[in-house]
């Protein structure tokens, strides 16, 4: 079983280093999501960052993107 506590992960967005705190399960799904799109984790994070607006933090936006991606898979 993976750890349910968030863990800091480093990313580079738009040439700047940042970190997000994500649970292992979300991180694994996020990495798989990036691979499925032929993107690096940083590139996918940059897209999510660009689209998230100011109402959500980056970690929350990544979690929502992962959830939506997984939900789309189960709808097919």
Neighbouring C-alpha atoms within 13 Å toward the C-beta of 16: 4
pLDDT tens, residue by residue, 16-46: 999 999 999 999 999 999 999 999 999 999 9
Say what the pLDDT of residue 2 is: 59
Say what the pLDDT of residue 68 is: 95
What is the pTM assigned to this prediction?
0.89
- Which of 1-5, 13-17, 35-39 is predicted with the least confidence, judged by mean pLDDT? 1-5
Cα 72 from Cα 69, distance rounded (Å): 5
Asked if 33 and 69 touch (Cβ cutoff 8 Å), the reply is: yes
């Amino acid at each position: 079983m993976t750890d349910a506590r968030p863990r800091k992960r480093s990313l580079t967005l738009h040439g700047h280093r940042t970190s997000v705190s994500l649970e292992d399960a979300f991180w694994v799904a996020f990495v798989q999501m990036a691979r499925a799109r032929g993107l690096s984790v940083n590139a996918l994070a940059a897209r999510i960052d660009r689209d998230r607006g100011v109402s959500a933090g980056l970690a929350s936006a990544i979690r929502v993107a992962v959830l939506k991606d997984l939900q789309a898979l189960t709808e097919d």
